[in-house]
Chain A
Amino acid sequence: SQTIHQWPATLVQPVGSPLSLECTVEGTSNPNLYWYRQAAGRGLQLLFYSVGIGQISSEVPQNLSASRPQDRQFILSSKKLLLSDSGFYLCAWNPSGQGHSPLHFGNGTRLTVT
């Protein structure tokens, strides 16, 4: 069966520090991969999605970046965090070419920038 792993679960980082969040999927090949952010009491905001290795689409201009170095690995990074980067970060996947398939989410990373 397919599983998705996301870490760390919680993170407290000072303003200006770098960030690296990692997500891996098991049990499937060539998944669509997504990074979302959810601010407190708000809906999900799509940050990046990827349909294949090295293919990244950015939805929102900001100081975050994403990479997909391997088929089932998706990394969210920042060189210098801002206070506004605080939030709940969620990695998700669904099968390639099936836009109607439900997203399967990782457990999320609670990021607090201080």
Chain B
Amino acid sequence: GQNIDQPTEMTATEGAIVQINCTYQTSGFNGLFWYQQHAGEAPTFLSYNVLDGLEEKGRFSSFLSRSKGYSYLLLKELQMKDSASYLCAVVDSNYQLIWGAGTKLIIKP
């Protein structure tokens, strides 16, 4: 079967750095997405990785290792508004999106 694993919940302090991990086992791989979802709202696109390595976009970076079936989202200089759920999703060989259950990130002052 296809599986995406993320921690259910993480807590971090305002101004700090947090890394949210995602491991996957899918039938094929055609890219990995990270989305942010604030409570009660729709997900919004953060990043897309299809090649190994780090993609940096402002305070957010996303890393991919295809050989390890592993990705992480790195959030720097955390702000209270970063409190949200972060969803990892993998595009499989049929170009279907396989979603993780999401990681709820709680930011404390």
Residues of A whose CB lies within 8 Å of any CB of B are: 41-46, 90, 99-100, 102-108, 110
Contacts and interface: CB of A to CB of B under 8 A. Distances in A.
* Interface range on chain B (Cβ under 8 Å from partner): 20 to 34
Contacts of A103: 43, 45, 97
B38 to A, nearest CB: 11
Interface stretch (B56-64, B74-82, B98-106): B98-106
Contacts of B41: 107-108
Contacts of B35: 102
A74 to B, nearest CB: 15
Contacts, number: 43
Looking at chain A's contact residues, the main secondary structure is loop
A41 B102 CA distance: 8
21 contacts: A42-B101, A43-B4, A43-B101, A44-B87, A45-B99, A46-B96, A90-B43, A99-B95, A100-B30, A100-B91, A100-B95, A102-B35, A102-B45, A102-B48, A103-B97, A104-B45, A106-B42, A107-B42, A108-B41, A108-B42, A110-B40
Nearest to B89: A44
Given A42-B101, A100-B95, 8 more contacts: A43-B99, A44-B43, A46-B96, A90-B43, A100-B50, A102-B33, A103-B45, A107-B41
Nearest to A90: B42
A104 B95 CA distance: 16
A77 B39 CA distance: 25
Contacts of A105: 42-44
Contacts of A46: 96-97
Given A43-B99, A44-B99, A100 B45 contact: no
